[in-house]
């Protein structure tokens, strides 16, 4: 596996257009991962809610618990 510095050096060797394309691709992949993690989290929360482990709460209630 290449070190972080080696990867950066390899990227620097690419033409500017390919560097921009790489940045775009990496950003899209990161967004996809975040989206997938959010979907997983929401799915788990819905399962907990349906099983009775969670109850509805207002934003104010949630903030009171967070700040307590």
Of 7, 2, 13, 40, the C-alpha closest to 26 is 7
On the question of pLDDT at 54 being above 90, the answer is no
H-assigned helices in 15-58: 16-50
Q: Is 3 left (phi over 0), alpha (psi -120 to 50) or beta?
A: beta
Q: Which residue has the higher pLDDT, 56 or 39?
A: 39
Q: Which residue matches tokens 């349906």?
A: 50
Residue 55 has pLDDT above 90, yes or no: no
Q: What percent of the chain has pLDDT over 70?
A: 100
Query: Measured between alpha carbons, how far is 34 from 44 in angstroms, rounded to an integer?
Result: 15
């Amino acid at each position: 596996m290449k070190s972080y510095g080696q990867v950066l050096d390899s990227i620097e060797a690419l033409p500017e257009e390919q560097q921009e394309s790489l940045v775009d691709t990496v950003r899209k992949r990161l967004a996809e991962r975040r989206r997938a993690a959010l979907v997983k989290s929401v799915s788990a929360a819905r399962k907990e809610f349906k099983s009775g482990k969670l109850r509805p709460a207002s934003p104010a209630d949630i903030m009171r618990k967070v700040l307590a």
